[in-house]
């Protein structure tokens, strides 16, 4: 057993563990590089220590200084672990979509946490990157770690992670699979493995389906710490310098549901409690392995621990609310799921109409069906391969009220619609129980139905009530329109 002088010395040297159960249907062995067994709980421990040490050497981080970083959590945790050990103040900016557990861990290590809105264009003053840069400008002796562009990030993986994998597999590795966040891990480790093998190792990028890295539309996704989100109002799409695109030979695009459920299988079938990005990587590794034979060997990197996502990934209620889980948790439960009654509601998917935030009031009224008393307004996005995520719904409009205001001269029809938004419609996941769906509506007469975090239809309270009373009546569209118009709350 190794003995260390400090926790920072215990970073890295993580084991490989064979995925014997998930990989039982393929002939190629799949080994997981279990980075969450690093002392700080993630692969980012390596980059954090390397960046601090380089900054100390070049004088940009001096005794008594302050470390500042923008992170989804893991790099901040590594910086807090190493930085506090060395006497630095650590301030971490984290997006408001990050799991609560990460914030709690950061505070436990002594970091100060600043939470910033995530759904903003990059040039917005309140964007996470701009918030932390202002902190660096305002705090004497502050140093920005800047993992996205810091060469110490990919370099440490070329020096440690890659060589560890090569030695652990005795040079037998043929395929390396990893997610891409800052790009440091896949660029450094993947680059080393390609070089040492004489280009004999194929490097595979595992990417959320909506991520820009692999060609997605840049819309929001639910896997933290990897991928590249692109706000449609961002002036310039800036990619990290830590990501060396030429290292990646191919991509596997993994939908959120597949990522999340694969991560849950890792815990239940392999005993590896890993985070959602590990689910993305393992799902990609399984796809790759199905193409290979027994002479190949796949290594997949698991970046962080599932303990940081207990309130999300491993919480059945959270998954159901967002529509990622739609199987009964108890087969004897007498109450139906929302999913179970939707096939008896005609037109609930066709009823989903959205208005772009770029629209004028006049356009919004003209494009809104007269039958709907409220229509969701969504963040504009020119190209959309995926459906609308709940986080992109900015609010709703009431076409009849706006039309009347235009006619009375109270509103300029050329004004933008975003200045006249009502509250967004409630959202309900396809996998929640029927009673929960009714309760979620509150005093609203309708709600948006989510599957995999994206709106797929609209359902009314009257329809849910009929289903709950087991007195479900299939109504015609005119009758449904009457129901919608009679509601004074929607």
In a domain, 92, yes or no: yes
Task: Please tell me the distance from the alpha carbon of residue 428 to that of residue 321, in angstroms, as a whole number.
Answer: 6
Asked if residue 233 and residue 173 are part of one domain, the reply reads yes
75: three-class secondary structure by DSSP: helix
Asked if residue 254 and residue 130 are part of one domain, the reply reads no
Q: What is the dihedral of CA 159, 165, 167, 169, to 10 degrees?
A: -170
The tokens for 309 are: 């996502």
Task: Please tell me the distance from the alpha carbon of residue 224 to that of residue 263, in angstroms, as a whole number.
Answer: 13
pLDDT of residue 313: 96
Are 169 and 285 within 8 A, CB to CB? no
In a domain, 81, yes or no: yes
**The last residue of a domain, from among 123, 144, 165:** 144
Asked if residue 170 and residue 89 are part of one domain, the reply reads no
Range of the domain at 230: 7-39+151-307
Residue 43 CA: distances (Å) to CA of 56, 156, 446: 21, 11, 44
Asked if residue 17 and residue 61 are part of one domain, the reply reads no
Asked if residue 477 and residue 398 are part of one domain, the reply reads yes
Task: Please tell me the distance from the alpha carbon of residue 356 to that of residue 375, in angstroms, as a whole number.
Answer: 11
Residues of the chain under the 70 pLDDT cut: 329-334, 381-386, 470-490
CATH of the domain at 353: 3.10.580.10
pTM: 0.91
In a domain, 58, yes or no: yes
Are 271 and 211 within 8 A, CB to CB? no
In a domain, 352, yes or no: yes
Contacts of 439 (CB under 8 A, 6+ apart): none
Contacts of 78 (CB under 8 A, 6+ apart): 11, 40, 42, 44, 45, 46, 47, 48, 49
DSSP letter at 247?
Answer: G
Task: Please tell me the distance from the alpha carbon of residue 8 to that of residue 172, in angstroms, as a whole number.
Answer: 30
In a domain, 314, yes or no: no
The tokens for 318 are: 């959270």
Task: Please tell me the distance from the alpha carbon of residue 281 to that of residue 85, in angstroms, as a whole number.
Answer: 32
CATH of the domain at 288: 3.40.50.1100
In a domain, 317, yes or no: no
Asked if residue 90 and residue 19 are part of one domain, the reply reads no
Asked if residue 274 and residue 158 are part of one domain, the reply reads yes
Asked if residue 114 and residue 79 are part of one domain, the reply reads yes
How does pLDDT run across 97-146, given as a tens digit for each residue?
899 999 999 999 999 999 998 788 999 999 999 999 999 999 999 999 99
In a domain, 2, yes or no: no
Are 271 and 220 within 8 A, CB to CB? no
Question: Which residue in 19, 12, 72, 22 sits closest to 43, CA to CA?
Answer: 12
Q: How many CB atoms lie within 10 A of CB 1?
A: 2
In 294-360, which ranges are continuous DSSP H helix? 316-321, 338-342
**The last residue of a domain, from among 144, 172, 193:** 144
**The last residue of a domain, from among 119, 144, 169:** 144
Positions marked catalytic:
44
Asked if residue 473 and residue 382 are part of one domain, the reply reads yes
Q: In total, how many domains does the chain have?
A: 3
Are 126 and 117 within 8 A, CB to CB? yes
Asked if residue 286 and residue 344 are part of one domain, the reply reads no
Are 50 and 152 within 8 A, CB to CB? yes
Are 226 and 304 within 8 A, CB to CB? no
pLDDT of residue 275: 97
Task: Please tell me the distance from the alpha carbon of residue 189 to that of residue 300, in angstroms, as a whole number.
Answer: 11
Asked if residue 267 and residue 174 are part of one domain, the reply reads yes
In a domain, 166, yes or no: yes
pLDDT of residue 478: 39
The tokens for 315 are: 């919480």
Asked if residue 249 and residue 170 are part of one domain, the reply reads yes
Q: What is the dihedral of CA 304, 306, 310, 312, to 10 degrees?
A: 70
The tokens for 355 are: 């208005």
pLDDT of residue 382: 57
244: three-class secondary structure by DSSP: coil
Residue 125 CA: distances (Å) to CA of 69, 94, 146, 375: 16, 15, 18, 30
């Amino acid at each position: 057993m190794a003995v260390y002088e400090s926790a920072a010395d215990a970073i890295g040297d993580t084991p490989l563990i064979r995925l014997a159960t998930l990989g039982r249907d393929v002939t190629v062995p799949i080994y997981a590089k279990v980075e969450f067994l690093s002392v700080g709980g993630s692969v980012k421990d390596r980059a954090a220590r390397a960046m601090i040490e380089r900054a100390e050497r070049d004088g940009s981080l001096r005794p008594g200084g302050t470390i500042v970083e923008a992170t989804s959590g893991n790099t901040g945790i590594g910086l807090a672990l190493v930085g506090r050990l060395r006497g630095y103040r650590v301030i971490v900016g984290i997006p408001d979509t990050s799991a609560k557990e990460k914030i709690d861990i950061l505070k436990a290590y002594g970091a100060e946490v600043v939470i910033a809105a995530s759904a903003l264009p990059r040039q917005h003053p309140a964007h996470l990157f701009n918030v932390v840069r202002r902190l660096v400008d305002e705090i004497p002796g502050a140093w920005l770690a800047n993992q996205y562009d810091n060469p110490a990030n990919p370099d440490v993986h070329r020096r440690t992670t890659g060589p560890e994998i090569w030695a652990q597999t005795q040079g037998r590795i043929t395929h390396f699979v990893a997610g891409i966040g800052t790009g440091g891990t896949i660029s450094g480790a993947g680059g080393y493995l390609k070089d040492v093998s004489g280009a004999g190792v194929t490097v595979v990028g595992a990417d959320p389906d909506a991520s820009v890295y692999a060609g997605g539309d840049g819309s929001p996704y639910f896997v933290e710490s990897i991928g590249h989100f692109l706000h449609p109002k961002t002036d310039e799409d800036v990619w990290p310098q830590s990501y060396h695109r030429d290292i990646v030979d191919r991509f596997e695009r993994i939908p959120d549901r597949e990522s999340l459920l694969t991560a849950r299988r890792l815990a239940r079938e392999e005993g590896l409690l890993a985070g959602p990005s590990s689910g993305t990587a393992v799902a990609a590794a399984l796809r790759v392995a199905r193409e290979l034979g027994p002479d190949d060997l796949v290594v997949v990197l698991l970046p962080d621990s599932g303990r940081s996502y207990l309130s999300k990934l491993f919480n059945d209620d959270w998954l159901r609310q967002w529509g990622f889980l739609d199987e009964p948790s108890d087969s004897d439960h007498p109450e139906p799921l929302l999913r179970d009654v939707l096939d008896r509601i005609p037109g609930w998917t066709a009823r989903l109409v959205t208005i772009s935030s770029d629209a004028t009031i006049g356009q919004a009224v003209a494009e809104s069906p007269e039958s709907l008393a409220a229509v969701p307004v969504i963040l504009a996005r020119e190209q959309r391969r995926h459906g609308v995520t709940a986080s992109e719904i900015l609010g709703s409009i009431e076409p009849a009220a706006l039309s009347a205001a235009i006619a009375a001269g109270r509103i300029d029809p050329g004004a933008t619609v975003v200045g006249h938004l009502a509250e967004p419609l409630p959202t309900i996941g396809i996998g929640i129980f029927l009673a929960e769906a009714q309760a979620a509506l509150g005093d609203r007469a309708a709600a948006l139905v989510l599957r995999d975090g994206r709106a797929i239809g609209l359902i009314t309270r009257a329809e849910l009530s009929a289903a709950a009373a087991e007195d479900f009546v299939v109504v015609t569209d005119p009758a449904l329109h009457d129901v919608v118009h009679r509601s004074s709350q929607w």
